[in-house]
Structures are given as structure tokens and as C-alpha cells.
Amino acid sequence: MPSYDQLSWGLDSDIVAPHRRFLAAMEGRLPHMPFETKEHDCVILASLVGKLEAPEKRLRDILHEMRAEAPTYIVQELGAKR
């Protein structure tokens, strides 16, 4: 039976995998993304990362905060002139 440390290390690897996929996806999108979209996405990602940098916050709590902020981002996006 695996130890707690082995299971924890395995989960660490499982968390790193989607992070790497996210980086690859964003790097693939950036060259084709309009400036306005980059600007908007940067605001949202900066907010998310700022929340993730607080080690005492659980991802669940961060998602609740982002859900509360989402209507503002949606209204801004829908009102943006393209």
C-alpha cells in the first residue's frame, strides 16, 4: 500500500500536468490573439494568480471569489467594442 507521502507526491504530479497544458495552450493562443483580448485576459489572469499566491486560500475559496467577480468580466466583455 502506498504511503501518504507517495500519494501526495503523485497528486503533486497530477496538479503539475494541467498547469503545463495551460502554459502550452496559452503560448499557442498568444500569437493569434488580438491586443484587446490579451489586455482583457491579462486582467483576469492577474486576478486569478494574485489569489493563487495566497497560500492560505484553498482553490475552492478562490473559485467562489472568481465566480463572484465573473459578472463584471462578462459585462465588460459583452460591452467591448471589437
DSSP for 37-72, please give it: HHHHHHHHHHHHHHHHT-TTS-HHHHHHHHHHHHHH
What per-residue confidence (pLDDT) applies to 51? 95
Contact in structure between 62 and 48 (CB atoms under 8 Å): yes
Is the domain of 49 the same as that of 82?
yes
pLDDT tens column, 26-70: 999 999 999 988 988 999 999 999 999 999 999 999 999 999 999
Is the domain of 49 the same as that of 64?
yes
Is the domain of 41 the same as that of 68?
yes
The alpha carbon torsion through 13, 17, 20, 25 (nearest 10 deg) reads: -170
Is the domain of 52 the same as that of 77?
yes
What per-residue confidence (pLDDT) applies to 81? 65
Is the domain of 10 the same as that of 39?
no
74-77 long-range contacts (CB < 8 A, ≥24 apart) are: 76/40, 77/40
Range of the domain at 7: 1-32
Average confidence (pLDDT) over 1-30: 91
Is the domain of 44 the same as that of 81?
yes
pLDDT band at 76 (very low <50, low <70, confident <90, very high): confident
Decide if pLDDT at 78 tops 90: no
Full-model pTM? 0.74
Domain count, the chain: 2
